[in-house]
Amino acid sequence: MVFFRSVSLLNKLRSRAVQQSNLSNTVRWFQVQTSASDLDLRSQLKELIPEQQERIKKLKAEHGKVQLGNITVDMVLGGMRGMTGLLWETSLLDAEEGIRFRGLSIPECQKLLPGAKPGGEPLPEGLLWLLLTGKVPTKEQVDALSAELRSRAAVPDHVYKTIDALPVTAHPMTQFTTGVMALQVQSEFQKAYEKGIHKTKYWEPTYEDSITLIAQLPVVAAYVYRRMYKNGQSISTNDSLDYGANFAHMLGFDSPSMQELMRLYVTIHTDHEGGNVSAHTGHLVASALSDPYLSFAAALNGLAGPLHGLANQEVLLWIKSVVSECGENVTTEKLKDYIWKTLNSGKVVVPGFGHGVLRNTDPRYMCQREFALKHLPDDPLFQLVSKLFEVVPPILTELGKVKNPWPNVDAHSGVLLNHYGLTEARYYTVLFGVSRAIGICSQLIWDRALGLPLERPKSVTMEWLENHCKKSS
């Protein structure tokens, strides 16, 4: 909760780094630094990239033929589920313990990353620094990055005009993605590529595009929200606020608690390794040397699907349907009946429960639960979510078809947003999109720095699979 600087904590962290190879290999523990270059994220990357380029060359040269596992017919027919096939440096998802950002768990990020105030939630700018460098930043570094993002946040007028050409009733994700595509005309990568930039320098204009895109996304997203739900009365940025608080401000929410929630929300939604639909889509499109705007717009279209980012919208709507039919103070037995009714209606799982990879309760759910217990313990919808946490997993376990009966990140986020007045569930995926840009763009910069190639997996037909299986039997 607090950004500790004490010697004793540093000693503990270094001890843990020795014990855990994934931390020692990927996380560079912070030092108190004061020079101008130390406060500049781009300069930090310029120092780190050469050694990482050598690292990937060595891996390929010495271990390129090492097998990582066997591919089964189930994997091919099941959407490549479980195949190890992507390099994604910024985060790693463990089925049991959840996500780690550059080796750090969510609780560790909450303790180590700087907050806007002592004991507060981590600033998203700090996680951006961590994802890009593998280093836990100082508060001074985070403040410098926050100032840089504010300096890049101005959105060209043509972007607003492009969004305004759409019906105001268009889905928020449609309007948001359209705005991102309109931003693409400013791409530095596209300009540099057309001039003939050397491939070893691809990461530099990619960095410029990515940081500018991250800076401008909250402005575009807030414009869509105010256009749809607040009669088009947009709110300008506040140069005294950090990234998360500024986003909340532009949406129209200035309470300190809502600002803290937005910092937490953006931080925990940034990245979830490379295999999820939005991250993989962004990586795939970028592998064709599409610029960050084109790549991220494609990622947003994947995020908009009901099996991915749109799920947070579906969860809150389902919870409200529970309240509508059963009341806020629903008994456990009546709640069980409603859950069985949901399952018997044809739904595979209860909205907000289960995950494609995780096999335990999502740590992102737990940190949101802790936030709710601290800030809104008496909220009726939060109490209902708590009751669902107790009731749903045993039912899904009894059903016998669900590998993970535990709640995921989407089970909680809508209830928190709803409490502070952001009640428009159709908009929630846009919030997810703003956050996810930090992870996708961070990895994209490293894709360019490491010279990762065009992605081109092999596909086969069912006839090929049938013939192969006959030969193997």
Whether 410 sits among the annotated catalytic residues: the reply is yes
**Which candidate in 308, 412, 419, 447 is catalytic?**
308
Catalytically annotated residue among 280, 355, 412, 419: 355
Residue 272 annotated in active site: no
Active-site residue, from 410, 412, 419, 447: 410
Question: What is d(CA 466, CA 42) in angstroms, rounded to the nearest whole number?
Answer: 51
Q: What is the 3-state secondary structure (H, E, C) of the chain?
A: CCCCCCHHHHHHHHHHHHHCHHHHHHCECCCCCCCCHHHCHHHHHHHHHHHHHHHHHHHHHHHCCCCCCCCCHHHHHCCCCCCCCCCCCCEEEECCCEEEECCEEHHHHHHHCCECCCCCCECHHHHHHHHHHCECCCHHHHHHHHHHHHHCCCCCHHHHHHHHCCCCCCCHHHHHHHHHHHHHHHCHHHHHHHHCCCHHHCHHHHHHHHHHHHHHHHHHHHHHHHHHHCCCCCCCCCCCCCHHHHHHHHHCCCCHHHHHHHHHHHHHCCCCCCCCHHHHHHHHHHCCCCCHHHHHHHHHHHHCCCCCCCHHHHHHHHHHHHHHHHCCCCCHHHHHHHHHHHHHCCCCCCCCECCCCCCCCCHHHHHHHHHHHHHCCCCHHHHHHHHHHHHHHHHHHHHCCCCCCCECCHHHHHHHHHHCCCCCHHHHHHHHHHHHHHHHHHHHHHHHHHCCCCCCCCCCCHHHHHHHHHHHC
User: How far is the C-alpha of 150 from the C-alpha of 239, rounded, in Å?
Assistant: 7
**For this structure, is 171 an active site residue?**
no
**Positions marked active-site:** 308, 355, 410
